Amino acid sequence: MSPRMPPRTLAKTLAYVACIAPSEYGLFWNTDGTMPWKELYWVLQDDPRLRFVREATIRELELIGADLPFTLQSGLLQAKNPDDLPRPVAVTPPPTLYYWARRKQLRAIRQDGLVPDGARSHVALFSDRDAGYRRAQYRDPQPVLVTIAAGRADPAGIQFLGAGLEMYLCSRIPMDYLVIPATPEEDPGAMRERGKRERKPSKQAAGAPASGSFWVGPEQLRPFRDDEDASVPAQSQRKRDQGPGWKRQSRKERHKREIDRD
């Protein structure tokens, strides 16, 4: 536990964030008084003073008898007094609401609409398009903004619950009221274009050596032979050109020069 925050102060801070004003932090409780611990953890990561809080920190507070309004078991927070939690009420939503979805979630949304995941009773929506983006990045570094036509969905009998100034809860929203932008993973045109790039033949000529290598042929060896021939003294080269009798001829010439000197 951080020495900069006494246990009692930390317990009061957690109680405020999770139970007194959860909507201020984009949090809400399920109808059975539970909340995934990881969602509270993500909120705490946004505050440098609270980033040290882990599951072990919560258990330590429980062991020393700190006054926490919830318990933590199997990754779920359980409110000790669910009746004391803020209660969402049915409201008329604004014309447009927003939700940040994981990219892997988009296919299921297109098929079944926007529904809560297994640990949730409702889906949290926001009137501010930027709200919830930061915490959505903990699940997907590039979340996709889903737009909800709440102004059309509400008259159709879809109930929206107000959970704060900018947050609304809904148990299910059909695809008819959702606008999901195409992503590169789903856009057929982008997929075809990417396939073309992958199948595009290399500019390297067929049969050419791979980059960083070369084939050795006669034309590459010729300069080496020329260099070798050039390195032989000219006199020796001429002697070789005279044939196998050059030694005999050389002795005759030498003998002739000796006679002339005498």
Give the residue extent of every domain in the chain.
Answer: 7-84, 89-179
Mean pLDDT along residues 210-228:
54
Tell me what pLDDT residue 134 has.
86
What distances in angstroms separate CA 40 from CA 46, 66, 77, 117, 162, one per listed residue? 10, 18, 9, 16, 20
Cβ atoms of residues 18 and 27 within 8 Å: yes
89-179: CATH, from 2.30.110.10, 3.20.80.10, 3.20.170.30, 3.40.50.300? 3.20.170.30
Contact 34, 77 (CB under 8 A): yes
Q: Is the torsion defined by CA of 149, 155, 158, 161 positive or negative?
A: positive
Q: Is the pLDDT of residue 159 over 50?
A: yes
**Cα–Cα dist 250/207, whole Å:** 54
Tens of pLDDT along 45-73?
Answer: 999 999 999 999 999 999 999 999 999 99
pLDDT one-digit tens code per residue, 187-203: 555 545 555 555 555 55
- Environment class of 65 (CB within 10 Å of its CB; exposed 0-12, middle 13-18, buried 19+): exposed
Number of C-beta neighbours around residue 144 at 10 A: 20
7-84 placed in CATH 1.10.10.10: no
- For 71, the 3-state DSSP assignment is strand
- Write down the pLDDT at residue 117: 87
219 pLDDT higher than 50: yes
Task: Report the distance separating Cα 132 and Cα 27, nearest Å.
Answer: 10
The CA-CA-CA angle for residues 68, 73, 74, to 5°, reads: 150
Report yes or no on whether pTM surpasses 0.85.
no
pLDDT score for 246? 61
Share of the chain above pLDDT 90, in %: 62
